[in-house]
């Protein structure tokens, strides 16, 4: 690991002993940022809701004894005041909190007077990029300079593989809009299961993420929360060493040439789409003049069928081509409806 931001630590601080043992092992591996939740937002009442304020002293001890930066989750003004007063280096706004602009604003209001802290903003529970952007803007407007976005996946009903669906295009789009804000991945909460953490971490680096936030516990099976997804510090060490971190070299000639090929193919694609829409408009006029319905299911089925056959011939994914044609058809119908 070189410049990647690696944040590790337990889902929750449980006892001073658990926090210190985990932290010392992580520090010995070279981890520089230690996380532990003190106030835990739990889906069901009666689950372990965190040790609260007392854990701040344990985090302070971690900072003094290991030199790691320490942080916790804050969900309201009170948590934030306590975290700031305890001198924590960073706080994170959890997924449930990002979903709630009132809560984010009260956190931002406390941070206005404490701009030195680093603030991590997790994506909201639901796949709504605007809520994520809104939360980041509220923190930016409080004058915080070091903001990091954290991708932890999105809640979906009956998710099969992952606890939270990654929907990678959302964090990628966020990073496109906010290129100066580093984006890291929390594979633990996406996975919900320790066996999937390594694959997701590699994927995050393949997609050029700036780092990881990983749940790590000295004895994960005994964890009070998220036991299935936490790694031991040893497992984390092995995993981090196995990850392929890509070079960030944008000056490669061969890559530049390939990119310029993509650019010119894209301009042909866009021009062709514009021409296609123009023909749709003409068809719309024709149907209008001859009093014909806009949608003719038979024709639409033939188009889809034929384009899928073509896709197969060219080795293109059927799913991709089907989605593209559904979108094109919707747009054509809209254009013709407006005529």
Contact footprint for ligand PEP (CB under 6 A): 11, 37, 41, 73, 94-96, 122, 152, 186, 189
110 or 190: whose CB is closer to ligand PEP? 190
Q: Tell me the closest approach of the beta carbon of residue 111 to ligand PEP, in angstroms.
A: 18
Cβ atoms of 51 and 246 within 8 Å: the answer is no
82 or 125: whose CB is closer to ligand PEP? 125
Cβ atoms of 151 and 171 within 8 Å: the answer is yes
The entry of ligand PEP, Mn ion, none that residue 94 binds, CB within 5 to 8 Å by partner kind: ligand PEP
Nearest to 80 by CA among 69, 63, 95, 94: 94
Q: Tell me the closest approach of the beta carbon of residue 223 to ligand PEP, in angstroms.
A: 11
The entry of ligand PEP, Mn ion, none that residue 151 binds, CB within 5 to 8 Å by partner kind: none
Q: Tell me the closest approach of the beta carbon of residue 28 to ligand PEP, in angstroms.
A: 23
The entry of Mn ion, ligand PEP, none that residue 194 binds, CB within 5 to 8 Å by partner kind: none
Q: Tell me the closest approach of the beta carbon of residue 203 to ligand PEP, in angstroms.
A: 17
The token duo for 102 is 């009132």
Number of residues that make up the chain: 339
Site mask, Mn ion, residues 3-22, x = CB under 5 A?
A: --------x-----------
Site mask, Mn ion, residues 198-237, x = CB under 5 A?
A: ----------------------------x-----------
Closest CB to ligand PEP: residue number:
94
37 or 211: whose CB is closer to ligand PEP? 37
Distances (CA, A) of 7 to 148, 150, 186, 211, 331: 12, 11, 9, 8, 44
Q: Tell me the closest approach of the beta carbon of residue 61 to Mn ion, in angstroms.
A: 22
186 or 237: whose CB is closer to ligand PEP? 186
Catalog residues that contact Mn ion under the rule CB under 5 A: 11, 226
């Amino acid at each position: 690991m070189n410049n990647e931001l690696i944040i590790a630590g337990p889902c929750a601080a449980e006892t001073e002993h658990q926090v210190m043992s985990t932290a010392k092992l992580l520090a010995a591996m070279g981890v520089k940022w230690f996380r532990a939740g003190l106030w835990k937002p739990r889906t069901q009442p009666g689950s372990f809701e965190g040790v609260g304020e007392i854990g701040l002293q344990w985090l302070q001890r971690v900072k003094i004894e290991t030199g790691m930066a320490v942080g916790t989750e804050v969900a309201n003004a009170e948590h934030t005041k306590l975290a700031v007063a305890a001198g924590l280096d960073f706080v994170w706004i959890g997924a449930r909190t990002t979903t709630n602009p009132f809560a984010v604003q009260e956190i931002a209001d406390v941070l206005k007077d404490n701009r030195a802290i680093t603030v991590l903003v997790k994506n909201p529970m639901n796949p709504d990029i605007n809520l994520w952007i809104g939360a980041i803007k509220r923190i930016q407007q409080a004058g915080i300079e070091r903001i990091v976005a954290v991708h932890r996946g999105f809640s979906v009903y009956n998710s099969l593989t992952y606890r939270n669906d990654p929907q990678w295009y959302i964090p990628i789009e966020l990073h496109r809009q906010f290129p100066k804000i580093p984006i890291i991945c929390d594979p633990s909460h996406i996975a919900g299961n320790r066996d999937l953490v390594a694959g997701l971490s590699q994927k995050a680096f393949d997609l050029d993420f700036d780092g990881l936030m990983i749940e790590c516990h000295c004895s994960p099976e005994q964890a009070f929360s998220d036991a299935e997804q936490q790694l031991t510090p040893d497992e984390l060490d092995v995993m981090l060493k196995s990850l392929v971190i890509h070079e960030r070299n944008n000056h490669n000639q061969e890559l530049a040439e390939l990119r310029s090929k993509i650019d010119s193919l894209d301009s042909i694609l866009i021009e062709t789409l514009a021409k296609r829409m123009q023909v749709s408009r003409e068809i719309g006029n024709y149907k209008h003049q001859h009093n014909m319905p806009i949608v003719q299911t038979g024709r639409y089925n033939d188009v889809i069928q034929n384009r899928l056959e073509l896709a197969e011939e060219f080795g293109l994914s059927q799913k991709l081509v089907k989605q593209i044609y559904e979108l094109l058809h919707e747009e054509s119908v809209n254009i013709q409806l407006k005529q």
